[in-house]
Chains A and B, each alone.
Chain A
Amino acid sequence: MHIPDGYLDMSIAGLFYLLTAIVLGYSIYKIRKEQVNWVLVGITASAIFAAQMLNWPIPGGTSAHFVGGALAGILLGPYAGCLAMACVLIVQCLVFADGGITALGANIWNMGIVDVFVGYYIYKALENRNKFLAGFLAGWLGITLAAIFAGIEIGLSSSFHYSIAVTVPVMGMWHALLGIVEGVITGSIISYITTTRPEILKATEEVKVGRAVWIALAVMIALSPVFAYLAELVNYSEPLENVASALGVSEHPIYEGILPDYTVPGLDPYTGTLISGIVGVAIVLAIGFIIQRASGTR
C-alpha cells in the first residue's frame, strides 16, 4: 500500500503532509505530556517492521503480509501507536526506499494515522465482548479504510489517470479481502497477550473511548455530503448502473425505500445524504443496542 513518488499530484501530497504534520505533532505533544516510554515506542516499531516481513500463506498458493497499524494502536495507545507507525514508514522510505519521499505524508496518513486510530477505537468499542473479534475487526477495518484513503489520494491526483471511481473500489475491495489476514493476525496476537500478559493491554485503558467514538461518528456523518459532492464531481456511478445503461436496461423497483438512493424526496441531494447518514447510523446503533440487551453483555 506504500505509494511511491510520481503517483500523487504535488497539491495532494502537500495537503497530506500538512494533515499528517498536524496529527503527528499533536500525538508527539500528547506523548511528551503523558511521559510515554518512547524507547518502547521505538522497540515496538522495529518489532512491527520485522513482523511485516513474514509472508502468511493464503489458500490458492499465494501469500500476504501484516501491516500492524491497528496492533500498534491497541498495544501502545493511539498517539504512541501513530508515532511507532510513522517511524516504521520513515525508516522504510529513507533506508529501504519503500514508498516515496513526496508521498511520505500520505503514506503516514493512511497506515500511521487512519489504520492506527480506526483500529484503536474499534478495538476499544468492542473489547468487552470478545478480544479476538475486537482485534480482528480493528485490524480488518483499519487496513481497509487505510486502503480506501490511498485510493482517494491517487484517484484525486491528475498524475494518475485512473479516476477515483476506479481507484477507491479497487483498493477498497482488494484490501477488504487481504484485510482478513491482517484481522486474524491482530486478533490472534491480542488473544494471546490477553491470556498471558493482560497488563500490557491495560496500560492503554484509561482513554475515554465513548466520547471519541461519538465524535468520530459525528465527523463521518458530517463529511458524508462532501463524498456525495466528490462523487458527482468525478461523474461517479455504480458499475452495475453503467452495465445496465450499456445494455439499455431500465430500473423498475418493486419498493423505492424510505430514502431512495440515499436522498430524501423533495430535499436537495446533499441534505438528503446527510439525513440518510444520520438515519442509517441510528438504525445500526439501535440494532446493536437491541442485540447487546438481548445477549445480556455490556
Chain B
Amino acid sequence: MMEVVDRSLKSATEYFQNFFSFEYYKNGFLQNVDARVKLLGIVVLLLATVSTFKISKIFAILFSAVVLAKLSNVGLRKLISRVWLFTLFSFLIVLPLTFVEGWGYVLAFTLRVLTAITLIQILVLTTPFNEVLQTLRFFKIPETLVFALGITYRYIYMMFTELLRILIARESRRLKRLSFREIWENGGKALGAYFVRVFEKGERIQMAMKVRGDKIRYYHRPFKIGTSEALFIIFTTFVLTWWLML
C-alpha cells in the first residue's frame, strides 16, 4: 500500500524497540549523579551557552560537555550521530547572513546550537525517564502532568506496534499499486481505526488501573550530596568560573 508511510513507521518502531530496551545500560560518572543535581547543572551550563556569542566562551562549555560525555562512557561517535543533523541545518539557515554579518555571527550561532544540543543529549543519554519524572515531582510540577507524562512514555512503544499492526494488516490485503489519492484515503482510514483502538485501549487501561487502586507514586531517593554529586557541582562551578573569566 503505502511504501513511504509503512517504511517510515517500520524503521521508527525498530528504533524505539532498541531505544527502550538498550538505552541505559552503560554506567559512568553522570549516571551516578542524582538527577535533580544533574538537571540543574546542565540547565545552568545551557543558560551560559545561550547567553553569549563569544566563541571562546561557547568553546569552553562545548569542551566541558565532551569531557562529561567521555567520563560518562557516552561515545563520541554516538554523540556526533545525534547532534550533527540539526547543527548542519542551523548552519545552512544562517549561512546567507555571511554576506551581511561576516563569518563571526554564523560560526557563533552554529556553535551555540551545537553546544546546547550536545548538553541535552548528554542529559538524555545518562538519565532514565523515571528519574526525570521523580525530579519533576521534586520541583513541584503538578502531579497530573507528571502522571500523564509517565503514561505517555510507558505506552509509546505499544502505540507504535499497534499502528504498525494496522498498516501490516492493510498491506497484506493489497492487490495492486495504489495512486496518491488511494494512499491518502486508505491512510486516513487506517489512522482513524488506530485512534478508535487507542480510545478503546485507553478506557481499558484506565479501568485496569482503577481496579489496582488508581494511584501512581514517584518515590525519590532521599536527597543527599554524595561523592558523585559533589564532583559534578565542583566541575560545573569550575566551568562557570572559566566561562566568566574568558
Binding site for B on A (CB under 8 A): 4-8, 10, 24-25, 28, 31-32, 37-47, 49-51, 53-57, 59, 63, 71, 75, 83-84, 86-88, 90-91, 93-97, 100-102, 159-162, 184-185, 187-193, 196-197, 200
Contact = CB atoms under 8 A, between A and B. Distances in A.
B202 A102 contact: no
A182 B110 CA distance: 30
A46 B120 contact: no
B203 interface: yes
By CB atoms of chain B within 10 A, which of A6, A10, A91, A161 has the most?
A6
A188 B51 contact: no
B170 interface: no
A91 B152 contact: yes
B163 A51 contact: yes
A151 to B, nearest CB: 13
A42 B205 CA distance: 11
Contacts of A71: 195
A100 B173 CA distance: 42
Interface residues of B, number: 73
A110 B2 CA distance: 30
A11 to B, nearest CB: 11
Contact of A91 (B46, B82, B149): B149
Interface in B126-181: 129, 132, 142, 144-145, 147-156, 158-160, 162-163, 180
A46 B192 contact: no
B18 interface: no
Given A40-B206, A51-B191, A161-B105, A193 B149 contact: no
Given A188-B188, A197-B199, A46 B4 contact: no
B201 interface: yes
Contacts of B192: 188-193, 196
A18 B86 CA distance: 27
Contacts of A160: 94, 109
B195 to A, nearest CB: 6
A71 B199 CA distance: 13
Nearest to A24: B145
B116 interface: yes
Contacts of A100: 116-117, 120
B49 interface: yes
Q: Chain A: interface secondary structure?
A: helix
27 contacts: A6-B109, A38-B151, A39-B151, A40-B202, A40-B203, A42-B147, A42-B151, A44-B199, A46-B154, A47-B159, A49-B152, A54-B5, A54-B163, A55-B4, A75-B195, A90-B149, A91-B153, A97-B82, A101-B43, A162-B94, A184-B184, A187-B188, A188-B184, A188-B188, A189-B191, A192-B189, A192-B193
Interface of B: 2-5, 8-9, 12, 43, 46-47, 49-51, 53, 82, 86, 90, 94, 97, 100-101, 105, 109, 112-113, 115-117, 120-121, 123-124, 129, 132, 142, 144-145, 147-156, 158-160, 162-163, 180, 183-185, 187-189, 191-196, 198-199, 201-203, 205-206, 209
Contacts of A5: 46, 49-50, 112-113, 116-117, 120
B54 to A, nearest CB: 13
Contact of B199 (A40, A45, A54, A59): A40
B159 A50 contact: yes
Contact of A197 (B120, B150, B196): B196
Given A37-B202, A87-B145, A188-B185, A45 B152 contact: yes
Nearest to A37: B206
B202 A39 contact: yes
A46 to B, nearest CB: 4
Contacts of B188: 184-185, 187-189, 191-192
By CB atoms of chain B within 10 A, which of A5, A8, A43, A100 has the most?
A43
B97 A161 contact: yes
B191 A200 contact: no
B151 A46 contact: yes
A104 to B, nearest CB: 10
Contacts of A94: 123-124, 129, 132
Contacts of B43: 101
Nearest to A39: B206
A84 to B, nearest CB: 7
B184 A43 contact: no
Contacts of A37: 202-203, 206
A94 B124 CA distance: 6
Contact of A42 (B94, B155, B184): B155
Nearest to B195: A189
Nearest to A99: B120
A191 B189 CA distance: 9
A44 B202 contact: yes
Given A10-B51, A54-B8, A38 B144 contact: yes
